[in-house]
Every structure is written in C-alpha cells, then in structure tokens.
Amino acid sequence: MNWEKLSAPKIHGGMGFKDLSAFNLTMLGKQGWKFITEPDSLVARIFKARYFPSGSYLTTTVGHNPSYVWCSIMRARFIVCGGARWSIGTGATIPILNEPCLSNGEFIVSDIPGAHFVHNFTVNSLMNLYDKSWNEQVVRQVFSDDIANKILHTPLISQVDEDKIIWKAERHGRYSVRSAYRLCVSELIDSSYNWRPGYWTGIWNLKVPPKVNNLIWRMCRGFLPTRVRLLDKGVTCPTNCASCDSTHEDLLHVFFACPFALQVWNRTGL
C-alpha cells in the first residue's frame, strides 16, 4: 500500500498518517508568512531586497536566478494564499485587486470586467468611512453582481482600527503548521482519489485492541496477502488454500469459509 493511501484521513478509509510532502510545504509556508507579518525582521528584509523589492510575497514571481531556499518557499505560497485574508481596518493600505480582502480570503482578480476602474485604488475607496460600511452604490456600479455581493457580505468590524493580514484557519489569526496542514490536505490539494466510501469510523471506534482495529481495516481495504491477492499483484503462486487446499484462497475464504477458520469461530463462542 502506498503512502498516499495511508495518509488519507481515517474517516475516508486511510490510516491518517501525515502526508510528508504537504507537511514540508506547511513548514515552508510558515517562513513565507513571516515575510508578510514580520517585514522588519532581518531575513524578511534580505529576501525582499533580493526578490520582491517593489511587491509582496503574495504577488511576486520566482525571479531570475533564484536560490533553492527561495524556490522552496515560493512552492508553499499557495498555502499562504489559501489561508491568508485581510482584516480590514481603514482599508487605506489594501489594494482592491489581487489581494485576499474578501471574507473567505478570495481575491478580486485584475482580469474581471470593471477592474480597470479600480486598478490603483485601495479598499477604503469602496467604503463609507464615517460609519465604516460598504458604499453599496459604488460597489454595484463598478463590479458585477456576484463580485459585488461577495464584497458587501464581507464584514467591516468597527473595533478593528488597522489593516492586518490574518490567518483565517485560526481564531487568533496567527499561522500555525497544524491548521495549515489541515487546510492543505482538505481544501488545497485534491487527494479525494485515495478516499474510499464506507463506515470507517465504526472500525476505529470499536472497543478492541488496536491490532484488531488494524486487522479489520486491512480486511475491509483488501490489503491482506491472500494468494488470490498476490496473484493479482503479479506474484506467481498457486491460488489454492494452504490449509484446506481449496481452489480459491481469497479474503472471504480465509476468514469465513475455510474449515480451519470455522473451527476457530466455533471455539470462540461468538
């Protein structure tokens, strides 16, 4: 069984192991997050001077002759973009386009109809500053109905005084590897092809020793090396049962049809 199947969530037929590739990306994403939230740190200033002097980590490109470290951090940018959003204060420092300023972290991309009207404007241009609310007339005049509705449904909290990037997957708004990994494997990386339907929680909730849970899970996933299974995997072997010499040693036979298995079940008294 490959690692991708083992790292699928338990509720979807996997073992719930960490996807090492995704976990490594979330660790790298933490460094990218520091470029955004700690711009005055030494490492952030060095990377900004070298790779994005006139932009930000969220919008820059890899650039010319990048280092291995910078390429690695850039590979994790989709995680940071997927979990970051602006907490709107005055709106004066947040560009309207290509920034995660909507409530769920979505971007208003620059290729939508009407984007040229707000190319160099910030979010406060769409707000009524005297009561910190959206100027619905302006929003609907500039944007299409679906974009306008997303903007108007983005909450403006009067207690928030300054514009700040926050991590939407945590209530405290700070990046954590745990929530970033959960976001990565559940929303950003499509691993559903490794999921299998079934009542898997019933197996893991059984009040039995862990080795029994594991055995039942392997039976349900068909991973036990019966002779029929080995033959399907290209192993040259006979298909007859090693115990009773039946002509078809599959999972059903080994556990429920073989005379030896029946003797075991009878002696358990179940």
* Adjacent-strand bridge partners of 86: 165
Give the model's confidence band at 32: pLDDT under 50 very low, under 70 low, under 90 confident, else very high.
Answer: very high
- Taking the CA atoms of 136, 167, 82 and 74 in sequence, report the sign of the dihedral they define: positive
Place 8 in a pLDDT band, splitting at 50, 70 and 90: confident
- Report whether pLDDT(190) > 80: no
**pLDDT computed for residue 254 by the predictor:** 87
- Quickly list DSSP for the chain: --HHHHTS-GGGTS-----HHHHHHHHHHHHHHHHHH-TTSHHHHHHHHHH-TTS-TTT----SS--HHHHHHHHTHHHHHHHEEEE-SS-TT-BSSSS--STTS----TTSTTGGGGTT-BGGGGEETTTTEE-HHHHHHHS-HHHHHHHHTS---TT--S-EEEETTSTT----HHHHHHHIIIIIS--GGG---S-HHHHHTSSS-HHHHHHHHHHHHT-S--HHHHHHTT-----S-TTT--S---HHIIIIISHHHHHHHHHHT-
Q: Do residues 221 and 198 make contact, with C-beta atoms less than 8 angstroms apart?
A: no
Fill in the amino acid letter for 52: F
- For residue 120, pLDDT over 90 is answered with no
Region 36-63 average pLDDT: 89
What pLDDT does residue 20 have?
Answer: 86
- Amino acid letter, 5: K
Per-residue pLDDT reduced to its tens digit, 216-234: 998 888 888 888 888 888 8
What pLDDT is attached to residue 198?
A: 87
**pLDDT (mean) for 170-177:** 91
Residues across the chain: 270
Q: Taking the alpha carbons of 47, 53, 59, 63 in that order, is the dihedral positive or negative?
A: negative
pLDDT band at 261 (very low <50, low <70, confident <90, very high): confident
CB 150 within 8 A of CB 106: yes
* Structure-token pair, residue 126: 């769409």
Q: Which of 76-80, 232-236, 245-249 has the highest mean pLDDT?
A: 76-80
pLDDT of residue 109: 83
Structure tokens at 219: 């039976």
Which of 193, 227, 251, 183 minimizes the C-alpha distance to 2? 193
Mean pLDDT, the chain, whole residue set:
87
CB 136 within 8 A of CB 143: no
pLDDT of residue 177: 93
pLDDT value at 76 more than 90: yes
The mean pLDDT of 134-153, rounded to a whole number, is 89
Q: What is the mean pLDDT of residues 101-130?
A: 84
Query: What pLDDT does 249 receive?
Result: 86
State the pTM of this model.
0.71
